[in-house]
Structure 1
Amino acid sequence: MIAIPLLPFEKYIIAHAILCVIGFLGFLPLGALLARYTRTYTQSWFTAHWICQLALAGPTIIIGVALGIHAVNLAESGPVNDVHKKWGIAIFVLYLLQVAIGLTIHYLRPRAWASGRGRRPVQNYFHAVFGLLIIAFAMFQVRTGFRSEWPAQTGRGSVGNGANDFWYFWIIFITVLYFAGLAFLWRQFRQEREARRAAEMKNSPEMKPISSPREPSETPMA
């Protein structure tokens, strides 16, 4: 069987696939897992979270998407005309939106929550759920890439079944890990309740020291 060398646009497709898989199914799940498992044990959880989600995933995803666009241009395969391309653009936009939401939540926190007196804002829950949805969409997107897009764009046939087996393993693995980490929610909520009580006690009038009346000053003798 004669092996046909990869064409330039096919090499870009492979590079695009590798980087997007690392970004969307590597760094993003890692950042979510670090937040889920470590936030109740160390204040450094947020630093690890944003490094994974932004500092590592951001450049990887942006370069990966750019390589995909360049591959489409080299192949002259036309406009955004199939599921993989449409989903790819949508997921990339959602990722950028999620980053903006995360930065907004971190730097523009409600005063009560920032001081420890208020409950966790709704936008914090939205940020977590929205991030999980993006990862779920990326899981679907990766599979359309090697099952449908690669053979359709290159005519080389389907990718070996090993890729499909690893995809199933990885999806199950990170899903089980995340749901196992939900066991730490009780600890997180308990810590937040204790922080609220401590803040309320600190600010209550009963806990403020009562200043003693001044002693009347002696009138100097003439």
Structure 2
Amino acid sequence: MRSAAASTMLSFLGLCAAVSSVKAADPEVLIHIPLLPFQKNIVAHGIVSAIGYLVLLPLGILLARYTRTFTNKWFHAHWFVQTIVSGPLIIASFALARHATTQAGTGHYNDTHKKWGLAIFILYWIQLAIGVLIHFVKPRFGFRLGGRPLQNYFHAILGLFILAASFYQVRYGFRVEYPLQSGRGKVGNGANIVWWIWVFLIPVVYFAGVALLIRRQYRQEALARDKSVPTATSSGENMAMNAAPGAQATY
């Protein structure tokens, strides 16, 4: 009996030693708790938001920035990415966030992340409306700066603001909001490293395009304006705004 008791005690001590060797900072090594439905929706919201706002929207902006002076088809690619590709993901992101907070019973638009999310979502649709106004309606009224309508500049600035706000929103989401809303603890540092690389890379690529191509763009737009003067025999149609690849450019 003593031998059996001693053996049992040694086994117990061995188990205790094994358990104590596990890092206290990693409790899920021993027990993995499956995500609850609302937590799954929070995770899905974060992934879809990151793809829609930090991958696809920058892609649409960079397409406009780099291709507009080389082809008059640049707008088709820009419009397709910003609307047809990004739009469904942005809508899905918003819907997932609403559904997750409804499931969790934590309320809507009652903290910084939720309020910013609603604001960015609304600004996205305002930005699309301004794009439609500029490229399809093409109003000829209002002030002009450097030969370009003010709404073109506003469209570009608003697009960059939405992108900057999205970077802030995504990082705030996985650093602060996710632990607060899910109760699962902080996201691994890998997400933070990727975010820092991306927030550095996208502006560098964008402003490199500005530095390399802005003079070419302005020359093309000036040429288009010179050709837009109607002749006595013309019907008065202004047909030259599409003559140069960058004539109706925004970004």
Same fold (TM over 0.5): yes
Secondary structure of 2:147's aligned partner:
coil
The alpha carbon displacement at 1:111 in A equals 4.6
The alpha carbon displacement at 1:18 in A equals 1.0
Match of 2:79 in 1: 50
Equivalence map 1:31-180=2 (5 Å): 31-111=60-140, 119-180=147-208
The alpha carbon displacement at 1:12 in A equals 0.5
Q: Deviations over 1:58-104 (max 9, x none)?
A: 11100111011000011111232211101000110111111111111
Secondary structure of 1:203's aligned partner:
coil
Count of aligned residue pairs for this structure pair: 199
The alpha carbon displacement at 1:110 in A equals 3.3
Distance 2:40 2:153 in 1: 40
Q: Which runs of 4+ in 1 moved over 6 A?
A: none
Distance 1:199 1:128 in 2: 24
The alpha carbon displacement at 1:19 in A equals 0.9
Distance 1:199 1:106 in 2: 17
Distance 1:53 1:120 in 2: 22
Q: 1:93 to 1:19 in 2, by over 3 A?
A: same
Match of 1:219 in 2: none
Secondary structure of 1:48's aligned partner:
helix
The alpha carbon displacement at 1:119 in A equals 2.4
Structure 1 residues without counterparts, runs of 5 or longer: 113-117, 206-222
The alpha carbon displacement at 1:204 in A equals 7.8
Query: Percent identity over the alignment?
Result: 56
Match of 2:52 in 1: 23
CA RMSD, aligned part only? 1.7
Candidates 8, 24, 32, aligned match of 1:3: 32
Match of 1:193 in 2: 222
Match of 1:181 in 2: 209
Taking structure 1 as the reference length, the TM-score comes to: 0.85
Distance 2:110 2:167 in 1: 20
Distance 1:178 1:204 in 2: 43
Distance 1:30 1:194 in 2: 28
* Paired letter, 1:135: L
The alpha carbon displacement at 1:23 in A equals 0.8
